[in-house]
């Protein structure tokens, strides 16, 4: 029997330079894909042209839910939030109360008939000097709520009331 001795083996040289190239490129790739800035979203909103009468019924033929927001004239903070004329209070927690009121109204709308919810509008009526962040909170409270990481939508048609004059 012939036994081969391994004298002919060639030494394999590892080339490190191309590997480092690729590793650095991967590093740049993942650095670029990393989201440093917080993602942005938005809310669609309408604004009626001109200044219709306060009691005007919308083209949806359902009177809009009215969210009135009064501001502290000195600080611009929310002083009073009302939903359909009922005062709900102030502070950050008031938007949860508004969210609850909207849910009750949404349930009533759905019980009244199919399709009502799609036609329903919310009218946001803020004081001129109110801080804008309160508007976003109110729109969010009317739009829906998060349940187990998923959004449950309430009302999608949201509009501004005619602008109030500067105090």
Minimum CB–partner distance for residue 1 and another protein (Å): 30
SS3 of residue 24 by DSSP: helix
Among 47, 56, 60, 87, binds another protein (CB under 8 A): 47
- Judged by beta carbon, residue 26 or residue 57, the one nearer another protein is 26
Least distance to another protein, CB of residue 21, Å:
5
Q: Which residue, 27 or 112, is less far from another protein as judged by CB?
A: 27
Options 3, 4, 39, 85; binder of another protein; rule CB under 8 A: 39
Asked if 38 touches another protein (CB under 8 A), the answer is: yes
> CB 104 → another protein: shortest distance, Å?
19
Beta strands per DSSP E along 72-120:
78-83, 86-89
Question: Are 47 and 160 spatial neighbours (Cβ–Cβ below 8 Å)?
Answer: yes
Nearer to another protein, 60 or 112 (CB): 60
Distance of alpha carbon 138 from alpha carbon 64, whole angstroms: 15
**Exposure on the CB side of residue 146, measured as CA atoms within 13 A:** 3
Burial class of residue 124 (count of CB atoms within 10 Å of its CB; 0-12, 13-18, 19+) = buried
For residue 14, the minimal CB distance to another protein (Å) is 12
Binding mask 71-110 vs another protein (x if CB under 8 A, - otherwise)?
Answer: x----x----------------------------------
Residue 6 burial (10 A CB sphere; 0-12, 13-18, 19+): exposed
């Amino acid at each position: 029997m012939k036994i081969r001795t391994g004298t002919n083996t060639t030494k394999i040289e590892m080339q490190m330079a191309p590997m480092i190239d690729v590793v650095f490129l991967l590093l740049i790739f993942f650095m670029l894909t990393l989201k440093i800035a917080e993602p942005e979203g938005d809310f669609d909103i309408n604004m009626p042209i001109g200044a219709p009468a306060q009691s005007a019924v919308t083209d949806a033929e359902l009177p809009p839910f009215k969210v009135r927001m009064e501001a502290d004239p000195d600080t611009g903070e929310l002083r009073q939030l009302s939903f359909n004329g009922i005062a709900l209070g102030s502070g950050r927690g008031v938007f949860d109360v508004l969210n609850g009121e909207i849910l009750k109204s949404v349930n009533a709308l759905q019980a009244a008939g199919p399709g009502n919810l799609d036609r329903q509008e919310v009218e946001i009526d803020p004081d001129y000097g109110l801080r804008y962040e309160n508007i976003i909170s109110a729109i969010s409270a009317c739009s829906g709520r998060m349940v187990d990481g998923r959004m449950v939508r309430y009302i999608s048609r949201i509009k501004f009331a005619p602008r109030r004059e500067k105090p």
